[in-house]
Amino acid sequence: MADFFNGFWHWYIAVITVLSILGCGILLWTQSTHRVKLRADGTPEKTTGHVWDEDLTELNTPMPRWWIVLFYLTIVFGIGYLFLYPGLGAYTGKLGWNSAGEYKAELKQAKAEYGPLFAKYAGQDLKAVAHDPQAHAIGERLFLTYCAQCHGSDARGSKGFPNLADSDWLHGGEPATIKQTIMQGRVGMMPAMGAALGSDKDIESVAHYVRNLSGLTADPIKVAFGKPKFASCVACHGAEGKGNPLLGAPNLADKIWLYGGSQETVMETIRKGRTNTMPAFGEFLGEEKVHVLAAYVWSLSNPPITTAAAK
Amino acid sequence: MTTPQEAVIRMYAAREEIHPRETKGRYASLRWACVWLTQLLFYGLPWLSMHGRQAVLFDLGSRKFHLFGLVLWPQDFIYLAALLILCAYGLFLVTAVAGRVWCGFACPQTVYTEIFLWIERQFEGPRSSRIRLARQPWTFAKAARKGGKHAAWLLVALWTGFTFVGYFTPVRELGATIAGFGLGPWETFWVLFYALATYGNAGWMREQVCKYMCPYARFQSAMFDKDTLIVSYDVARGEPRNPRLTASGAGDCIDCSMCVQVCPTGIDIRKGLQYECIGCAACVDACNGVMDKIARPRGLIRYATENALALRLDPVQVRQRILRPRVLVYTAVLALLGMAMVASLALRNPLKLDVIRDRGSMGREVEDGMIENVYRLQLMNTTEDPQRLRIAVTGIASARVVEGEVVELAPASTRAVPVRVRVNPGEAMSGSNRIVFGVASIDGHGLQVSEDAVFLVPK
């Protein structure tokens, strides 16, 4: 057994347990009778024979017999328990019960209970699910449990964690794409372009060019310098910097910045690159739950939002 | 010298069966009244309906306790503690005044034993026949009588177990599932467990429960004093005993042993107060009957206090002594606690709010430099009406809720609502700022609740 590093401890526990039970039985047996002196008339003393402080004696008022029987029953119970359940060293018990098995049984039960509900939605179109008030309420709870840690309770994200409530999508905002994102996860990789672009000056120029794409304040001369250098970026971000959802390359021409749009931040992003991971939830949650969740996420940027309660 | 002879004594003894004789009289009637009252309540309550649901239902699955118009949630658990404290003080008070009247008249152990004894009498007859039957060897007739009794006991016990579970699972559905043999393992267990406990305690254990199992029986005597009403034998009037009514100048006790025969715990009250005495006053009824027959005044055995007997107090003086400090203190505490509980239940806010700040982001800058924080508001509507609520935020002048400030909650439900709060730039200090969320009902239910929170402004 993995619980013990060698066979000795298994026996050690088992022997102590068995001896303790035996000891309890012997104690009960020996304590249920008592030897007392006979009085002058030949009848036994009415006290238990214990004497304290010279003359303090204890009157024998017997407890009911069922009382001690209860104690014997605990021994019977203990033996039965140790036979059926793991407890005696490495012995796994006749029933083969363990907490992992119990967990699995509970999962199975939960699946049997909630399965039909999720199965109903799994058969529906994602957009239809998104407009179902009950599914929306379930999706909200799922989101608050599994997604809110990174994307926020309001799904509006924070630095490095995309806002899911706007209409801007790194990998595409179609319901099926969202579902794929949740199922399989995403890895967003912006390579470090520092070496490819050359000097710090070049990086600065490209940053000015990129900021200019979004209409942010930029030095026109540096923008002009940066434009030819941006050729290194078009493979992913496109000639107009509008990005490519197939590659997860963000649109640089809108006002949405995952890491921030300041000159320094943009330069840092270009120089060092960015790597970001959205974990895959498919295996953990199962496709049926992800289906409801994807519909909820899609509905965030596709009003009207019809929640069970908020109208 | 001879060695002293020794003998082996047993430290545990078999129980001696007690066959209490049936009594008639004021206290027996009172006890039967208590049996009817408590049992009509117990067996009847689950069948009452209200608002389209069971009026009294302890719904463990959804963690809601329905008590007529009241819905108690796990958050209201404090009321259970308050109820227990109230019960404890009620007990202190009653015990200080009148001893173990709870035990003798209202305790389920007494009540069910009374019911089971009644059944026993229907099958086995009065005390003398029961003793005779117990001594008889096993015959078909004996087996039939005993079997019939146990079958009847088990029926009552099963109905009791069914009723008990009916407080936790809607009793009508429970009946239907039992009829269709579709009962779940836990419900089956509790129906049978409670039935078995009733059958065992009221049929077999009886006084053993009071003598050896009940902690209350033991610590009650610590609450007695010399002015507590207890079932007492008037030694001065009764002794010396006068079995044949011949001796002149002898006491009123004719040693008929009726008081012993009726005692459910098998003691002789003439030996004085004993811990086994549950204060049921069966011996009072029995002795009064005998006194009537021999034309002596009633009350040789009666409810009296130690002081009343020792100082020969008249009833008025006994009553005056009820108002002693300990009783007054118990009454005052009981009244105060009772009022506090009723007031707190009446003023209980049926709307509950918990504010949880999003830990993922501190505070973020949004358009026009405004600072935004995200919270999750855990809202709980404990009423049985749907609620429309408006979320407001105060503490920083420009603080306001962005979108979704109106939410709707279904009856008796909870909901986590993500809420964004925005503050104008420069209006809050960087660091943490105190804000207050206020949630109020829109539809004139007049419900309102507020909760403190922290608004973070990045540096």
The per-residue pLDDT for B368 is: 72
Both tokens of B170, joined, read 């809607």
The per-residue pLDDT for A76 is: 96
Map residue B375 onto helix, strand or coil: strand
The per-residue pLDDT for A304 is: 63
Alpha-carbon gap, residue B387 to B445, rounded angstroms = 8
Is B11's pLDDT higher than 90? no
B376–A153 CB contact, under 8 Å: yes
**If you average pLDDT over residues A249-254, what whole number do you get?**
90
Residue with tokens 């924070």: A158
Map residue A74 onto helix, strand or coil: helix
**Is B295 part of the contact surface with chain A (CB cutoff 8 Å)?**
no
**Is B18 part of the contact surface with chain A (CB cutoff 8 Å)?**
no
B11–A310 CB contact, under 8 Å: no
Enter the DSSP assignment of B211: I
Distance between first and last Cα of chain A: 58
Both tokens of A88, joined, read 């005696």
Query: What are the structural domain ranges in chain B?
Result: 13-348, 351-457
* More confident call, A169 vs B242: A169
3-state secondary structure B267-322: CCHHHCCCCCCCCCCHHHHHHHHHHHHCCCCCCCEEEECHHHHHCCCCHHHHHHHH
**Superfamily of segment(s) A108-185+279-300:** Cytochrome c-like domain (1.10.760.10)
Alpha-carbon gap, residue B388 to B410, rounded angstroms = 9
ipTM over 0.90: no
Q: Is the peptide bond before A304 cis (omega within 30 degrees of 0)?
A: yes
Pairing state of beta strands A63-64 and B12-13? parallel
**If you average pLDDT over residues A125-141, what whole number do you get?**
90
Q: Please give the radius of gyration of chain B, using alpha carbons only, rounded to the nearest integer.
A: 32
Render pLDDT for B182-198 as a digit per residue (tens, 0 to 9): 888 888 999 999 999 99
Q: What is the DSSP string of B6-52?
A: EEEEESEEPPPP--PPP--SHHHHHHHHHHHHHHHHHHHGGG-EETT
Is the sign of the CA dihedral A260, A265, A271, A273 positive or negative? negative
Query: What are the structural domain ranges in chain A?
Result: 7-84, 108-185+279-300, 188-278
Render pLDDT for B368-405 as a digit per residue (tens, 0 to 9): 778 889 998 999 988 888 889 999 999 988 899 988 88
**Is B15 part of the contact surface with chain A (CB cutoff 8 Å)?**
yes
| Identity of the amino acid at A110 | A
The per-residue pLDDT for A2 is: 58
Count interface pairs A-B at CB distance under 8 A: 114
A310–B417 CB contact, under 8 Å: yes
> In the Cβ-directed half-sphere of B28, how many Cα atoms lie within 13 Å?
20
Question: What is the distance in angstroms between the Cα of A225 and the nearest Cα belonging to chain B?
Answer: 30
Please name the member of A34, A37, A156 whose beta carbon is closest to the beta carbon of B374. Answer: A156
Is A308's pLDDT higher than 50? no
Alpha-carbon gap, residue B117 to B104, rounded angstroms = 15
Alpha-carbon gap, residue A273 to A252, rounded angstroms = 15
Which pLDDT band holds residue B4 (cuts at 50, 70, 90)?
low
**If you average pLDDT over residues B82-93, what whole number do you get?**
91
B11–A62 CB contact, under 8 Å: yes
**Superfamily of segment(s) B351-457:** Immunoglobulins (2.60.40.10)
**Superfamily of segment(s) A188-278:** Cytochrome c-like domain (1.10.760.10)
| Identity of the amino acid at B167 | Y
Which pLDDT band holds residue B434 (cuts at 50, 70, 90)?
very high
**If you average pLDDT over residues A198-215, what whole number do you get?**
90
Render pLDDT for B147-191 as a digit per residue (tens, 0 to 9): 999 999 999 999 999 999 999 999 998 988 888 888 888 889 999
**What is the enclosing helix (H) or strand (E) of B230?**
strand B230-233
pTM score of the predicted model: 0.77
**If you average pLDDT over residues B51-75, what whole number do you get?**
87
A36–B420 CB contact, under 8 Å: no
Alpha-carbon separation of residue B377 from A142, A286, B83, B352 (angstroms): 16, 28, 31, 10
Is B1's pLDDT higher than 50? no
